[in-house]
Amino acid sequence: MRITFATTLILASITIASPVASTGYCRPGRKTYIANYDDLPFTEPGPNPIGSYEGLTYNIFQVDQYDFFIPPTSGDKWAMAFGGSGNFSDASQVDSSPSARQPHSSFALQSFSFACVSGVPQPECAITVYGYRTAGGSLKRIITYPRLDSGHPVEDYIMNATTFSREWTNLRSVGFSIARADNGGDMFGGLALDDVKYTISSGC
Ligand SMILES: *[C@@H]1O[C@H](CO)[C@@H](O)[C@H](O)[C@H]1NC(C)=O
Ligand SMILES: *[C@@H]1O[C@H](CO)[C@@H](O)[C@H](O)[C@H]1NC(C)=O
C-alpha cells in the first residue's frame, strides 16, 4: 500500500517535471539568436516582408539583398525598413495560437549592425531605438550613422555595429525611426539591420 502510494507520487512528479507544451504545460526556456536573414526567400520585384523569423515578428521590415552599395555584415541579405521606421516583437506576444503562446515570454536585445541607406552623399543619420517592456514602460536610445560623402571608393561604405546594455531586457517589442542628425529632417532613406542578437526567455 505504502509502496504503491510512493510509486504513484514519483510517477506524478516525473510527469510534472517534464511538461509537454502541446498538453498545455509551460516549458521555461532561454535561447540566444543571431538573425542574419540569409536563409529567407528574396524575390524581385518585392515586397519581401520578413513576418515571423527566429522567435520575433517583424512589422514593415523586409528582407533585402546586397545591391553592391553597403554590404550586409554577414551573407548577402539584411533586414530593411525602406521608410526608416519599423519594429519587431516577441512572436509569442503577437501570435496567440495555443501552440505558439508562451506566457511571460520576453527578450533581451544584445547587439546589431546597422546602416542608414539613402545614397551618396547622405547626411548624418540619427536612429532612435525604442524598447517596450513586457511590464510596461519604455527605453529610448539614439545612435548615429555617419554622413557619407562622395569621392570615396564604394568599399569605404560599411555598416556600423552597436551593443546594448543589460537595461535592454524584459522587452516585448523594439521599434526604430530615423531622421537627419543635424536638423531632424527626413532622411528619405531606409534603415538596414543585420546580425541582430537577442535572447528570448520564457517563464511559467
Ligand atoms: C561606420 O560607417 C562608416 C560609413 O560606412 C565607415 O566609414 C566607418 O568605418 C564605420 N565605422 C565602424 C567602426 O565600422
Ligand atoms: C509596430 O509597427 C506597427 C505597424 O506600423 C504599429 O502598428 C505598431 O504600433 C508598432 N508597435 C510598436 C511597439 O512600435
* Ligand 2 centroid distance, CA of 87 (Å): 6
User: Which three three-digit cell numbers place residue 2?
Assistant: 505504502
Residue 104 confidence (pLDDT)? 66
Domain locations along the chain: 28-202
Each residue's pLDDT, cut to its tens digit, for the chain (204 residues) gives 444 444 444 443 333 333 344 556 666 789 999 999 999 999 999 899 999 999 999 999 999 999 999 999 999 999 999 999 999 999 876 655 555 545 568 999 999 999 999 999 999 999 999 999 998 999 999 999 999 999 999 999 999 999 999 999 999 999 999 999 999 999 999 999 999 999 999 876
- Say if ligand 1 is within 6 A of residue 156 CB: yes
The residue whose CA has the least distance to atom 1 of ligand 2 is: 87
Residue 14 confidence (pLDDT)? 38
Using the CB atoms, write b or e for 42-76: b if 16+ within 10 Å.
eeeeeebebeebbbbbbbbbbbbbeeeebbbbeee
Among the bound ligands, the one closest to the CA of 49: 2
CA distances from 202 to 34, 54, 66, 89, 170 (A): 18, 14, 34, 14, 10
Q: Positive or negative, the Cα torsion across 109, 57, 33, 158?
A: negative
Residue 29 confidence (pLDDT)? 87
Residue 3 confidence (pLDDT)? 45
Q: How far is CA 104 from the centre of its chain?
A: 18
Between CA 7 and CA 39 the distance in angstroms is: 49
Kind of pairing, strands 62-65 and 138-145? unpaired
Using the CB atoms, write b or e for 182-195: b if 16+ within 10 Å.
eeeeebebbbbbbb
Candidate of 50, 87, 191 to mutate for ligand 2, largest count of ligand atoms within 8 Å of Cβ: 87
Residue 26 confidence (pLDDT)? 65
Between CA 43 and CA 20 the distance in angstroms is: 38
* 99 contacts 193 by C-beta, under 8 angstroms: no
Picking from 35, 34, 37, 33, the residue whose alpha carbon sits closest to that of residue 64 is 37
CB atoms within 10 A of CB 120: 15
What CATH number matches the domain at 28-202, 2.60.40, 1.10.10, 1.10.3470, 2.60.120?
Answer: 2.60.120
- Tell me the pTM: 0.85
Among the bound ligands, the one closest to the CA of 131: 2
Residue 89 confidence (pLDDT)? 96
